[in-house]
Structure 1
Amino acid sequence: MTDPHSNGNGTKTPPTTTNAGIPVASDNESLTAGAQGPILLHDHYLVEKLAQFNRERVPERVVHAKGGGAFGELEITHDISRYTKADFLQPGKKTEVLARFSTVAGEQGSPDTWRDPRGFALKFYTEQGNHDLVGNNTPVFFIKDPSKFPDFIRSQKRRPDSGLRDNHQQWDYWTLRPESAHQVTWLLGDRGIPKTWRHQDGFGSHTYQFVNAEGNRSWVKFHFKTDQGIEFLTQAEADVLAGSDPDHHRADLFHAIEDGAFPSWTVKVQILPEEDAEGYRFNPFDLTKVWSQKDYPLIEVGKLTLNRNPENFHAQIEQASFEPSNLVPGIGASPDKVLLSRIFSYADAHRYRIGSNYAQLPVNRPKSPVHSYSYKDGASQILWNDPEVPVYAPNSYGGPAADPSRADNDEGAWQFDGRAVRAGYIQHAEDSDWAQPGTLVREVLDDAARDRLVSNIVGHVSNGVREPVLSRVYEYWTNVDAGLGRRVREGVEAAHGQTVDTTALDSAAVSSTTASV
């Protein structure tokens, strides 16, 4: 792969600096306490990047701006109490839920049917407070370290000069980040454009931690399997709808619920015992990887049903805030670096976008009692404590006090060493950026799906991608699968009216370890 610090003519680019002009140590890894420890707050460059990135757009969301949603219910039909003490996941429990679906890169007015991952965000109004699960319709993502996130999103958005989206800059970024290959394979495949939001699966994507009543821990991934069946749009169908019905997905969900055709998803989890994590063949906290369902089968939990449309789109959908920091007792974070950064970043984005008192808005307000010293001043304050309640802690007047017996005392802690390092993830036996996307292409997709994948890639790459990025595109897909790389090159060069010589392409193929997904 081309050196990302080279400008292509043999000279080096200037060093990255902070906004104060201070050189930074890494564009790739955040500062953590050990390779699998938590993100350190004094990584000022990461905080600067994320905090400034969160403030780039007014007033729509920086990402996931175009979307829609509905209310419904989660019903737990199976017993997973041996894994978690979370009250809303106990057998027979029913919990009100808000779901929001979205595209990632598009703006408010963008078509629903652009090729893009779909956000799959859920807010559960539990008796222990709000629990949010902020995922996508794919089980993986483009990056594995949060320091790359602002750069990734900017590469997918509009150019600053023309105001146009640019396939060339997308591929420039992707081909310089091999870890993106798994998600890009999903994106350019059939599931890159779902027929409707009802006809897609959802994933928590990140690894979380379950804690049971005895304090025993395990790692968990959430899956939401659509009961309507997986259906998708071809690129041609999506292009027509983008012009004729740009709100196709939003309208479909609203009218389906209005007509009583309530969409539902079967909720399942994968459980990885805590002691298995260190020796598992892939790093289980890497967001670009999946856990094999052969190794850790899906366990059924319950049913998610959407049965109520919003009464006011702005108040209940546009002002809804979802944040991975909302974790109720029994569910915790993990060494997933992207998840750890989102615990800071999402709440910070909400404070900027909808105000410091965003949690007081009705759609974001928990159904459980709130006893908070944060209810004081700030923009859009709509709730306040009784004047007799002190605004500070500790106090002598009966104000609220922390109760360790009602919370996870160690807040989902895990073992790690205390060194501050920029080491990336600990490598496991079968970790590779190319293995899982290669397996997806060869073993999961059928011939027809592979043909559509090639067609989608060729169509996307043929639209403005030029050298030297074009050669890296061929190398990228050859590393995923040699046959796929050959077909992509043949298709692009045929589209450009060129003769294809695949000899060099064959010799450039990089072998990778085959992984079961």
Structure 2
Amino acid sequence: MSTTDKNLTTSWGAPVGDNQNSMTAGSRGPTLIQDVHLLEKLAHFNRERVPERVVHAKGAGAHGHFEVTNDLSQYTKASFLSGVGKRTPMFVRFSTVAGELGSSDTVRDPRGFALKFYTEEGNYDLVGNNTPVFFIRDAIKFPDFIHTQKRHPQTHLKNPTAVWDFWSLSPESLHQVTILMSDRGIPATLRHMHGFGSHTFKWVNAAGQAVWVKYHFKTEQGVKNLDVTLAAKLAGEHPDYHTEDLFNAIDQGDFPAWTCYVQIMPLEDADTYRFDPFDVTKVWSQKDYPLIELGRMVLDRNPENYFAEVEQATFSPGAFVPGIEASPDKMLQGRLFAYADAHRYRVGTNHNTLPINRPHAEVNHYQRDGQMTSDSNGGKSVYYEPNSFGGPTEAPQAKPAAFPVSGLAESVAFDHSDHYTQAGDLYRLLSEEERARLVETVVGAMTPVEKEEIKIRQIGHFYKADPEYGQRVAAGLGLSLPEGL
């Protein structure tokens, strides 16, 4: 049968006799409720949009693969990292953070860098950003932070006062704010930016020995950023610029690639390092823990359907495989729950059975039922455990490595409160031209803030990072430095 010979059907497979005219009582009569094809079309149309992501709503994705170029199996037993030349299929989603689904690609915002590895031991998700740090370091602050990035409940407009009020009261944000307000805040394309796992993770080898690890994905296209004037022009004239660029590059055979490196820290160093290695607002010095090449990521195939493959793709930092585990990073600990829970709400409790999320490894569990059950639902097999009927059982060799815990159960802050050294180091690494653009961007972003005390408080943070940094921002805003500095 040729394509033109195919019958249009309902979702239950029955042929549709008329798809142009609804059924009515007489030629001018009211529409009949018995026109089930009409009702199905309208009902499905009303439900075509799943709730957009609360954060990272606007995104683009592609398929590819990861190839190991350096065998680091002495540090991790993860099978997909075992042996030079080992290839693992992947799906990658890039995104902005704060904007809605229809927002512009070229706004000043961090970019999500979410990777799904379809390994033989199950899916491994690495859900990071194009920055090595984040604004906050405890998940309990995340809803409040994101509220400041969203719209005012009365005006429904973006609210710079809320943004800078929160940042000025959360000095741990200064490192990420400096990155965001620098040239790196607006990547030229999704292909011309680095990616980071951001958090600290734990690798465990076959002997049960563990190390702490951070991931770095360095773009092979080179880092390029957009001038603010061009970015604003593109935001108005071509809001899907990054999405189109990624699609066209892959479509034309210009496959983007990233080289993956890791930093490895011995477990015992976490107790003595000059910064808390589990504080996601900090980086590890590459002089202390040099980059070690691990592999190469290549994106070489576009999605066939955006909704099915990009919008319904779900990533969770808690999707681990044997050999990779969590660290005590308090932001990571919160994300282990929050991401998967968001997917259960947004896409459905069976989101991992969708083709884009379905593991390439065999899946055996006792979860049953729930909305959108699209597989056999376990058939007639045993549906509880333990059982006497040969159902799947646990694999003791896959248990996470034991780790010591101590202290009181209480709400505590991080021990290290130095929010300024690394932000100041970053400022001093910039050229004079880059510093000037950074200050100009900060001044422009802070000018609309309604309360002067917020501006003064934030200027104090800039000054503590580097006196010149604070002085230039203060001068740009026409304000004096805070007393006591």
Aligning the two structures, in what range does the TM-score lie when normalised by the shorter sequence? 0.7 to 0.9
Deviation at 1:465, TM superposition (A): 4.3
The verdict on how the C-alpha distance between 1:486 and 1:58 changes in structure 2, with shifts beyond 3 A counting, is: farther
Q: Secondary structure at the match of 1:101?
A: strand
Q: Which residue identity lines up with residue 63 of structure 2 in the other structure?
A: F
Deviation digits for residues 325-367 of structure 1, max 9, x if unmatched?
1110000000101101111111110000001111111100000
Does 1 or 2 have the higher relative contact order (CA < 8 Å, sep 6+)? 1
Structure 2 residue 163 is matched with structure 1 residue 177: no
3-state secondary structure, aligned to 1:420: coil
Does the CA-based 8 Å contact 1:478-1:508 persist in structure 2? no
**What's the CA shift for 1:384?**
2.5
TM-score (norm 2): 0.88
Aligned positions of 1:118-157 closer than 5 A: 118-157=111-150
Q: TM-score, normalised by structure 1?
A: 0.82
CA shift digits 1:89-137 (9 cap, x unpaired): 1122100011100010000011011111000000000000000000000
Is the Cα contact below 8 Å between 1:257 and 1:308 reproduced in 2?
A: yes
Partner of 1:425: 414
Query: Which deviates more from structure 2 when the two are superposed, residues 298-307 or residues 388-397?
Result: 388-397
Distance 2:401 2:175 in 1: 29
Q: Cα RMSD over matched residues? A: 1.4
Aligned residues of 1:225 and 1:266 also touching (Cα < 8 A): yes
Displacement after TM superposition at 1:470 (Å):
1.9
What is the aligned partner in structure 2 of residue 459 from structure 1? 444
- For each residue in 1:391-442, what CA deviation from the matched residue of structure 2 results, as whole angstroms up to 9, or x when unmatched? 111111111111213x1x2x14422115311112233xxx501111011101
Alpha-carbon distance in structure 2 between the residues aligned to 1:243 and 1:95: 39
Larger Rg: 2
Alpha-carbon distance in 2 for matches of 1:135, 1:475: 30
Write the distance in 2 (CA, Å) between the matches of 1:404 and 1:292.
36
Q: Which residue of 1 aligns with 2:35?
A: none
Aligned residue in 1 for 2:295: 302
Partner residue, 1:403? 395
**How far apart are the structure 2 equivalents of 1:172 and 1:419?**
32
Distance 2:79 2:394 in 1: 19
- Structure 2: segments with no counterpart, 5+ residues: 1-48
SS in 1 for 2:258: strand
Q: Determine the structure 2 residue equivalent to 1:438.
A: 424
Amino acid at match of 2:140: S
> Which piece of structure 1 moves more, 305-314 or 413-422?
413-422
Q: Which residue of 2 aligns with 1:364?
A: 357
Q: Is 1:89 aligned to 2:81, yes or no?
A: yes
Q: Aligned AA for 2:233?
A: V
Matched, 1:450 2:435: yes
SS at the partner of 1:479? helix
Q: Distance between the aligned counterparts of 1:377 and 1:58, measured in 2?
A: 20
CA distance in 2, matches of 1:465, 1:140: 28
The structure 2 residue matched to 1:480, chosen from 445, 465, 471, is 465
Q: 1:347 aligns to what? A: 340
Structure 1 residue runs of 5 or longer lacking an equivalent are 1-56, 494-499, 510-517
Answering whether residue 52 of structure 2 is matched by residue 63 of structure 1, we say no
Matched residue type, 1:169: A
- Report the AA paired with residue 145 of structure 1: D
Distance 1:269 1:305 in 2: 17
- The residue type equivalent to 2:201 in the other structure is Y
- Secondary structure at the aligned position of 1:284 is classed as coil
Specify the SS of the correspondent of 1:277: helix
Residue equivalent to 2:8: none
Q: Structure 1 residue 158 and structure 2 residue 151: aligned?
A: yes
Find 2:183's aligned residue among 186, 190, 195: 190
Matched, 1:323 2:316: yes
Query: 2:263 matched to which residue of 1?
Result: 270
Match of 1:231, SS? coil
Q: Where does residue 219 of structure 2 map in the other structure?
A: 226
Tell me how far apart the structure 2 counterparts of residues 486 and 151 of structure 1 sit (CA, whole Å): 29
